[in-house]
Structure formats: C-alpha cells, structure tokens
Amino acid sequence: MKQYYIFTYGCQMNESDSERLAHQLELAGYEGTDNFEEADLIILNTCCVRETAEHKIYGRIGELKHLKAKNKDLIIAITGCMAQKNQADMFKRAPHIDIVLGTHNLRHINEMVAEVQRTHKHQINIEMDNTVLHELEAKPTGTFSAWVPIMNGCNKFCTYCIVPHVRGREISRPIEAIVEDVKKLGATGHKEITLLGQNVNSYGLDFKDGTHFGDLIDALDGIPGIERIRYMTSHPQDMNKDMIDALGRSSNVVTQLHLPIQSGSNRILQKMNRRYTVEHYKELIDYCREKIKGLTLTTDLIVGFPGETEEDFQATLQLLKDIRYDMAYTFIFSKRSGTPAATMADQVPEEVKRVRLQALMDVQNEISLELNKAMEGETYEIIVEGPSRNDENVWFGRTSGNKMILFPKDESLSIGQTVKARVDKAQTWILYGTIV
C-alpha cells in the first residue's frame, strides 16, 4: 500500500483542509505514515500570511529534493494559500515538485496524482470558483475534538492581509450540511467541535435571505454527544446583538470569544480598512459580557502599522486597560507583498515596533495574571487532553473559556474525559490545579 505524509502550516482552516485531503487519499488506497522519508506522496499544505512562513516552507521544499533524487516515483504536491499566491513561480523555483493545487481545488488531488504518474509532467490547478463551496469529507485527527468548516473566503480586504486574494470570496455551507456533520461527529465520540471560517460572523450573508451566524448556533444547540462548540475567527464588523443573544442562550457554545480589534486607534483602524470604530467595538464587548456568563475574551493586536504615531499606540494601550482581555495575541506589523499596507508611506522603524510590542505585552501580561489569579480556589469543568508538552506526568485540560489547567497525571483518567478541576495556582499563561 502506498503511503502519504502531509505537512500542515498555518491556521486551523489549513488543518481542516489537511484532514479532507487525507480522506480523499485514503479513498484512493493511500495510507498515512508518520515518517515522511518513507512516503510515496508528500503534500505541503501551506500558509502565506507572513513572509517568514513562506521562507520556512521553501526551506522544507528544498530539503525534500534529496528524497526525490533517491526515489524517482516520489510525488511532491504543494497546496494551500502559498500555492495559490505563488503559482507562477513554484515550478521555476522548485522544479522537483510535481503538483501545485490551489485553495479551491483540493477535491482534485487524486486525479492530479494519477496524471503525474501517467505523464511524469508538472500538474497545476489554481482556478478559483467563488460561486460554489464543494462538500468534502474529512478524516478527523482528534480523538474527542474536530474541525467543522462552515464557510470559506473573505470579503473584508484588510489592507495588511493576503487572505482574500488566496481564499477568494465568502461562500457559506448550508446549515443542514453543517448540522449533519456535527451529528455524525457527536455519534462517533467527538464531544468538542470548532466551527471554522475566515470570519464566522459573516456566515450566511452570501445567502441574502437574512440567515446569519446566530441561526447556525441555534440549529446546533443540543445535538447529542456535543458538549462544546467553539468558533473562530470572529470579526467585529458583522457581529450583532442577535448573534450574541444566540451565543448566550446556547447550551453548549463555549464562554470564550476571540474578537480581534487590531488597534485601539480609529485612525489606524480606518487605514487598516477594518470598518468599525473603537466605540462600536466596546459596545459589542459590553453586550457580550451582559449576555454570555463567565465570558473569556481574547483578541489580536498589531503594533507598528504604517503611520502609527505614539498617540495611536497609546490609544491601543488604553484600550487594553479599559477592556481587560484575558489574553491578547500581539504582532509586529510586517509587510506582506501584494497588500496595500506593504507600500504605504510612513513605515514605522523596526526598533520603534519592538519597543511598542514590549510595552503592549507588559500591560497585557499584568492584566492576564490578575484575571487568572482571580480563578484561584474556583472549580471548572475541563476536558482532559493528555500529557503536557514538557512532562508526561503532568496532564492538562481546558476550560470552556479555553484556559489551560495543568494537573498531576491520574491513571484513572482518559483523554477526552470531562472532569472538574480546582485551580490552585495561577500564572500569566497557565493554571495549575487538582482534579476534584
């Protein structure tokens, strides 16, 4: 039996796409392997959100050249966002690869592999069809959790982001198809699902019949076996009170909300083409905290966007102090070729960016520690995920709010089991506890 290996880079959507590629390959008779050097087919499912990601992937592609030299029948395929973006250069830069497959064409992987075997020539398919979203089954890799794509593409065109150019326009899956997926997962022991979309709050807008993300949340409520429904990523522009009401009344939607704001300055938000104001964002947060009991709030922030002044940056610092996020994912602005922000005037010096990032992290770390300290002595329901990365005798699970609790390994527990844990000690990023 021929074997395949998939390298997956980037976001959760790419992880989900890899599961769909795996299912198709196994239908064609391939079997997965844990050793890429033994594979007959290697797929690199790529990311191009940042240039550093591209450099890393090109490095891996170069490393695979020696395997091709040893095994002339080895097939190497490049899929995902980088394949879509760099389509014209991929074979020129790395002639030892065989297939370049765009983000809208994963369903063609088996026929393209067959064509390489037949002709021994390069194959490419990067056509984008923004009118239909093809249904593809997946081979879930998680034992108790699973990804469930609800839509693809993005219509927002933030000036720093390449995603709309490589994923295409927003297309939503029918509610009935998503519900059927989740029912199957619940029936096969998956108790936690994560709904995926570039902007889940945009779900259903392309139907043009009033359907929105809240309708999907209502439809998924109470499906047997499903204890938790997570979702990512949200966008403030399309979020509204009806959606928040649905999140608040759901019996299994988690208490974590990841709502990226990117900057605390309205001037910078406008330059980013984010299409909302800080004031509107704060109103959304206030309503979320009113409707979602025990809300855990996280966000994304970019420092050093072109034209960001010290006043703009101080507005972002003040936003952190006002909202008090549980955690913030902070990034230094980096140019992404093909986006308007890459050629904007008034690029911020790298040293200024680094100083601002550290100041931002210092404020957020203090807030995160305070909020975690407030959890000490409290008991939370967690799903056991297994041993921690650094010590097999220390296991961990996550709360509904996605806080990680580490605890001593207990032989009576199994991965995927739902238990209660008391928080004994809090740190900035993790919690230490005891199973009760």
Binding residues for [4Fe-4S] cluster: 11, 47, 81, 154, 158, 161
d(CA 16, CA 305): 30
Count the helix, strand and coil residues of the chain and give each as a percent rounded to the nearest 5: 40, 20, 40
As to burial, measured by CB atoms within 10 angstroms (0-12 exposed, 13-18 middle, 19+ buried), residue 55 is exposed
What is the DSSP annotation of 198-239?
A: TTGGGTTGGG-SS--HHHHHHHHTT-TT--EEEEE---TTT-
Contacts 24+ apart (CB under 8 A), 183-186: 183/223, 183/224, 185/140, 185/146, 185/148, 185/225, 185/226, 186/223, 186/224, 186/225, 186/226
CA 20 to chain centre: 16
Q: How far is CA 260 from CA 236, 352, 387, in A?
A: 7, 23, 30
Q: Alpha helix locations (H) across 241-396? A: 241-249, 266-271, 278-291, 310-323, 350-373
Continuous segment of H or E residues that includes residue 70? helix 65-70
As to burial, measured by CB atoms within 10 angstroms (0-12 exposed, 13-18 middle, 19+ buried), residue 32 is middle
Q: Rounded to 5 degrees, what angle do the CA atoms 384, 390, 392 make? A: 55
The count of residues in the chain is 436
Q: Alpha helix locations (H) across 101-233? A: 109-119, 163-167, 175-187, 213-220
As to burial, measured by CB atoms within 10 angstroms (0-12 exposed, 13-18 middle, 19+ buried), residue 237 is middle
Residue 233: asked if its preceding bond is cis (omega within 30°), the reply is: yes
What residue has token string 């093809």?
134
CB 284 within 8 A of CB 239: yes
d(CA 194, CA 142): 11
Binding-site residues sit at 11, 47, 81, 154, 158, 161
CB 281 within 8 A of CB 236: yes
Tokens describing residue 85: 């973006």
